[in-house]
Amino acid sequence: MFQKCKLMVSLGSLLIVLYGASAAFYGKEAYKELSVFMDVLNRVKEDYVEDPNMSNVQEGAMRGLIDALDPYCSFFSKEQYDAFLKRKENGKAGTGIVLSKRSDVPYIVSCERSGSAAEAGVRSGDYLIAVNGHGVEDMSIPQADSLLHGAAGSTVKVTIFRGTRTQPLDVEITLRNQSAIPITSKMLDGNVGLLSVPSLAEPSVEQAKLKLKTLISAGAKKVLLDMRDCADGTPSDGAILANYFMRSGVIYYSQNRQGEKTQVVEASAEKFITDLPLVVLINGSTAGAAEITAGALKDHKRATVVGEKSFGLGSAQKIIPLKSGAILILSTAKYCTPNGRIIQDVSVRNTGIPPDVQAPDDETRQDLAVEFYYGEQDKENEAESYRRLQEKIDKIQLDTALEVFSKEQAPAKKAA
């Protein structure tokens, strides 16, 4: 009798939670959706081959509900959240990897080129299958990411899947303390000042300001802002970087589920630095804060954006503690460019910032991919082949950006 009462209490709690979630997402359809769930639950209770563990059923139901939303929503049971916090306390050293999800599997958006993961052979575009032998395919992004952090000097073994291989690959990575990725600058031919921003995490934005002013003092007449592989930092960091090149205007805004603007961020004249001709370089590993920068400069026609379509990472999350000790992480707003483009629009697969000038073009990229794939001889050769491939792509993108400057300077032809 006691077990039956306990079961009914668990079922009641589950139904109340699911009703609230259902009402939030489906409005008037909540009762209909709830009745379907109740029907399934009753069939499990009556017909499942074993006596079901309703605690596990509840946890699985909640996780399935949240996983159906977007890659950045999460559900932690109390035990999982306690373990998550404990891992964070054990150390903050990391691998230089930024994660998202594709096809519901953890996906490596960006891999710091000088980071320990890249040095061990991990690449942007790899899928993360397991960490230290534990499968992560069903984990949320925060859970999977927490497994990639720990004490400096310790190691993690990751299992990755790569499109050029038929079998998963095991890679051992040594964790390092996170240090600021240096912002670099140099003068190129034609008085072009190259400002490379591979990170927008603190204190990168301030470093970028100093480097930009140094380029201008050195005689730069044009600025090439390289944000390839830049996938960290906060939206405000991206807005500040854009503001260096904008006197006024909207940089980005966030909108809620009704499409209402909940926050509008505009450029400040005090932060403006230069109105020199500007080209921005992006690629498929440009994400988050860097997309806010690129989107603002593109929409205001302040810069020509060159390269590949960016990844598409632009939503705000809220942490919601539950009475049971469990934690919900829900996306509550999406970031939009000044012209209204939603940066992270998973529902229509239209994420990211498209370049004004694609580089390399589709035909060239296909040729390079064929050359890389059929040029591989063995595992040792693959890493070198990939390095050469990346160098070729980097050069094509840089050359294309410089060509844009040349075309903008070319005198207009007179009509005959």
Tokens representing 335 are: 């970031």
Peptide bond connecting 355 to the previous residue in cis, omega within 30 degrees of 0:
no
| Structural domain ending residue among the three candidates 129, 153, 174 | 174
Average pLDDT of 229-239?
Answer: 95
Q: What is the CATH number of the domain that holds 370?
A: 3.90.226.10
In a domain, 160, yes or no: yes
In a domain, 234, yes or no: yes
Average pLDDT of 66-73?
Answer: 81
My answer on whether 297 and 386 are in the same domain is yes
Q: Is 376 exposed, middle or buried (0-12, 13-18, 19+ CB in 10 A)?
A: middle
| Structural domain ending residue among the three candidates 68, 86, 111 | 68
Q: Please say whether the beta carbons of 222 and 278 come within 8 A.
A: yes
My answer on whether 206 and 343 are in the same domain is yes
Report pLDDT for 54. Answer: 67
My answer on whether 63 and 145 are in the same domain is no
My answer on whether 258 and 373 are in the same domain is yes
In a domain, 320, yes or no: no
Per-residue model confidence as pLDDT tens digits over 312-327:
999 999 999 988 888 8
In a domain, 195, yes or no: yes
My answer on whether 271 and 347 are in the same domain is yes
Q: What is the CATH number of the domain that holds 97?
A: 2.30.42.10
Per-residue model confidence as pLDDT tens digits over 108-150:
999 988 889 999 999 999 999 999 998 998 888 888 898 998 8
Average pLDDT of 36-43?
Answer: 74
My answer on whether 156 and 230 are in the same domain is no
My answer on whether 170 and 271 are in the same domain is no
Report pLDDT for 158. Answer: 95
Q: Please say whether the beta carbons of 223 and 277 come within 8 A.
A: yes
Per-residue model confidence as pLDDT tens digits over 331-375:
999 999 999 999 998 666 678 999 999 999 989 888 887 777 776
For residue 213, what are the contacts with CB-CB under 8 A and spacing of at least 6?
Answer: 273
Report pLDDT for 415. Answer: 35
| Structural domain ending residue among the three candidates 174, 205, 238 | 174
Average pLDDT of 239-267?
Answer: 95
Which residues form the domain of 141? 78-174
In a domain, 327, yes or no: no
* Cα(86)–Cα(89) distance, integer angstroms: 5
In a domain, 379, yes or no: yes
Calculate helix-pair angle for 2-26, 30-47, nearest 10 degrees. Answer: 150
My answer on whether 26 and 165 are in the same domain is no
Residue with tokens 């004004």: 356
My answer on whether 59 and 130 are in the same domain is no
In a domain, 330, yes or no: no
Report pLDDT for 102. Answer: 84
Positions of E strands within 48-182: 74-76, 97-102, 105-111, 127-131, 134-135, 155-161, 169-174
| pLDDT bracket for residue 376 (50, 70, 90) | low
User: Minimal CA–CA distance to 313: which of 339, 338, 331, 340?
Assistant: 331
| pLDDT bracket for residue 307 (50, 70, 90) | very high
My answer on whether 214 and 311 are in the same domain is yes
My answer on whether 206 and 303 are in the same domain is yes
In a domain, 104, yes or no: yes
My answer on whether 156 and 223 are in the same domain is no
For residue 193, what are the contacts with CB-CB under 8 A and spacing of at least 6?
Answer: 185, 186, 187, 212, 215, 216, 218, 220, 222, 223, 224, 276
Task: Note the pTM of the prediction, 2 decimals.
Answer: 0.85
Tokens representing 249 are: 């205007």
Give the 3-state secondary structure of residue 34: helix
How many domains, in total, are found in the chain? Answer: 3
Average pLDDT of 285-306?
Answer: 97
Per-residue model confidence as pLDDT tens digits over 204-227:
999 999 999 999 999 999 999 999
DSSP bridge pairs for 110: 98
